[in-house]
């Protein structure tokens, strides 16, 4: 870490110049904020070559929508065992408003020292926020050597790099394409997890007849709608979803029409709960599942953290459950809704990367924290043991023997299988979806779900947007 100060000092104003200023408008700040950001970089510490602070001491603030604060605090505690003189404060920001609050914050000297970024055009998108971050390539090269890219997960490296600028260092990756079930509820009613669309309908009919909610999704949250739709498309034809986003396939093809019709059927056939479009995934759908109101939810590998007894208790308390008794939560494959047999397919990106704010006067300490979390064995082991992310550093696995699951006999094998299969997936989640297509997807999926437009019209809209962006 001793070389961090000199590495930062070598960076130039060019590191900050954004090639995607228009994307700031999506964050709700407008072009003025983007122009202000670029202007401010000319007088930033990095641009002037002056770096205040130390690589081994200081006070830094970390903003992010993830991980949950208890997990973030546990990571900070582990960090402080090695760096006791760097005080890190995690400030949790709502996922739905993250971009809007971060944009003005990093155009001033009062913003976070470290902030989360993510691949593609989802919240914290690297293209949107790369102008406000320093280039971490020199620091990670110094830390791991010239072959550093071979030591880290590809999804984390490629997804958080813009024009050779390493905007953030990935803590780990998350993958979607799974459902999670409350095994206790399934056992109570003698039910097996659904493996087909018909079985899914039957499970929901049985549970609802007993007054028990079946499946919950915050379909008012576009990112999770896209997860469900991509899971449907992976079932229809693996890889087609990503190809279309890159202009290598058409959204108006019969496969996508079938996928959009299946998406609509989830609402028409009673799998999606009443009022789904009016709900957000966090906190509403999450709380509904954690409180036992529903037996199934669409979540990805990040949900593994709640299989840990203490973490689940905290989540249930946050959901309003008094004196909570943890339940057995188990991942299952997304059902074979198209009848193709293509199941168990996962898709993912880096969950989040730590970017260092170009306006910070604590860049050296902030870089130390980013490197520790994303590249060190101790940091990555701490990440692995939270079960929130699949580690970025190769060869790191959760220390299962030290993790107190709610019901190891029912959960351990399923969790190990999920982690193993997801970690070798090569399909992206948001990394290939740009901002315009992301916005269009969210509008189209909700419009089709509400019956406000047909599958064909919605997909034609997606294709038109993608044609314009290619």
pLDDT band at 92 (very low <50, low <70, confident <90, very high): very high
Q: Is the pLDDT of residue 67 over 50?
A: yes
Partners of residue 61 on adjacent β-strands: 89
- Predicted pLDDT at 306: 95
pLDDT at 85 over 60: yes
Q: Which residue has the higher pLDDT, 152 or 33?
A: 152
pLDDT of 186: 98
3-state SS record for 386-413: HCCCEECECCCCCCHHHCCECCHHHHHH
- Which range (135-149, 208-222, 237-251, 420-434) has the least confidence? 420-434
pLDDT > 60? residue 38: no
Claim: this prediction has a pTM higher than 0.75: yes
Domain 178-345+420-469: give its CATH superfamily.
Periplasmic binding protein-like II (3.40.190.10)
Cβ distance 356 to 368 under 8 Å? no
Q: Which CATH architecture is the domain 4-174+350-398 placed in? A: 3-Layer(aba) Sandwich (3.40)
The pLDDT assigned to 350 comes to 93
Domains 4-174+350-398 and 178-345+420-469 share a fold: yes
pLDDT at 5: 42
Q: Determine the pLDDT at residue 18.
A: 32
Q: pLDDT band for 443, please (50, 70, 90 cuts).
A: very high
Average pLDDT over residues 216-234: 96
268-325 pLDDT, tens digit per residue, is 999 999 999 999 999 999 999 999 999 999 999 999 999 999 999 999 999 999 999 9
Q: pLDDT digit string (tens) for 399-418? A: 999 999 999 999 999 999 99
Look at residue 52 in the predicted model and tell me its pLDDT: 56
Residue 177 backbone zone (phi > 0: left; psi -120 to 50: alpha; other: beta): left
Query: How high is the pLDDT of residue 376?
Result: 98
- What is the percentage of the chain residues whose pLDDT exceeds 90? 80
Secondary structure letter of residue 374 according to DSSP? H
Rounded average pLDDT over 122-144: 94
pLDDT in tens, 356-397: 999 999 999 999 999 999 999 999 999 999 998 999 998 898
Residue 95: what pLDDT? 86
pLDDT at 42: 33
Distance in angstroms (rounded) separating the CA atoms of residues 307 and 132 = 36
Q: Given this model, what pLDDT does residue 60 score?
A: 98
d(CA 17, CA 133): 10
Cα–Cα distance, 449 to 467 (Å, whole number): 24
Q: Which distant-in-sequence residues (6+ apart) come within 8 Å of 254 by Cβ?
A: none
**56-77: b (≥16 Cβ within 10 Å) or e:** bebebbbbbbbbbeebbebbbe
Task: Note if the bond before 67 is cis, omega within 30 degrees.
Answer: yes
Count other C-beta atoms under 10 Å from residue 425's C-beta.
21
Q: Which of 280, 305, 275 is nearest to 223 (CA)?
A: 280
pLDDT at 426: 85
Sketch the domain layout of the chain as residue ranges. 4-174+350-398, 178-345+420-469
Task: Write down the mean pLDDT value for the chain.
Answer: 89
Tell me the average pLDDT across 223-227: 95
Task: Give the pLDDT score at 395.
Answer: 87
């Amino acid at each position: 870490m001793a070389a961090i100060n000199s590495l930062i000092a070598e960076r130039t104003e060019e590191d900050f110049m954004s090639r995607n200023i228009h994307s700031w408008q999506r964050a709700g700040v407008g072009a003025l904020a983007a122009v202000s950001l670029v202007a401010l970089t000319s007088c930033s510490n990095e641009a002037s070559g002056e770096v205040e602070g130390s690589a081994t001491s200081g006070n830094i603030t970390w903003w992010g929508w993830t991980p949950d604060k208890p997990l973030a605090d546990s990571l900070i505690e582990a960090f402080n065992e090695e760096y006791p003189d760097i005080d890190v404060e995690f400030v949790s920001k709502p996922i739905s408003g993250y971009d809007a609050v971060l944009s003005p914050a990093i155009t001033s000297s009062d913003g976070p020292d470290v902030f989360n970024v993510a691949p593609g055009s989802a919240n914290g998108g690297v293209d949107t926020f790369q102008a406000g971050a320093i280039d971490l390539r020199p620091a990670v090269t110094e830390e791991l050597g010239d072959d550093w890219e071979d030591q880290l997960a590809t999804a984390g490296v490629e997804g958080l790099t813009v024009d050779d600028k390493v905007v953030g260092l990935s803590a780990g990756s998350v993958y979607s394409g799974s459902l999670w079930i409350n095994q206790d509820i399934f056992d109570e009613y003698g039910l097996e997890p659904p493996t087909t669309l018909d079985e899914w309908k039957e499970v929901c009919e049985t549970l609802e007849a007993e007054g028990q909610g079946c499946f919950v999704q915050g379909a008012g949250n576009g990112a999770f709608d896209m997860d469900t739709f991509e899971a449907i498309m992976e079932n229809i034809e693996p890889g087609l979803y990503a190809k279309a986003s890159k202009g290598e396939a058409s959204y108006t093809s019969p496969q996508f029409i079938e996928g959009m019709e299946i998406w609509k059927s989830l609402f028409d056939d009673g799998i999606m709960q009443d009022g789904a479009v009016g709900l957000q995934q966090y906190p509403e759908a999450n709380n509904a599942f954690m409180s036992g109101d529903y037996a199934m939810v669409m979540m990805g590998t990040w949900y593994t953290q709640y299989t840990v007894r203490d973490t689940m208790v905290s989540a249930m308390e946050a959901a309003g459950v008094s004196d909570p008794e943890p339940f057995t939560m188990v991942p299952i494959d997304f059902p074979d809704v198209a009848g193709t047999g293509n199941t168990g397919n996962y898709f993912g990106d880096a969950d989040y990367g730590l970017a260092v704010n170009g306006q910070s006067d604590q860049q050296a300490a902030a870089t130390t924290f980013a490197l520790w979390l994303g590249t060190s064995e101790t940091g990555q082991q701490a990440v692995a043991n939270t079960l929130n992310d699949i580690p970025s550093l190769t060869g790191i696995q959760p220390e299962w023997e030290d993790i107190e699951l709610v019901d190891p006999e029912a959960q351990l094998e399923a969790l190990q299988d999920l982690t193993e299969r997801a970690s070798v997936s090569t399909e992206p989640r948001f990394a290939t979806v740009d901002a315009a297509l992301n916005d269009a997807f969210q509008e189209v999926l909700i419009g089709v779900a509400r019956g406000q437009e047909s599958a064909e019209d919605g997909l034609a809209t997606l294709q038109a947007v993608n044609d314009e962006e290619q």
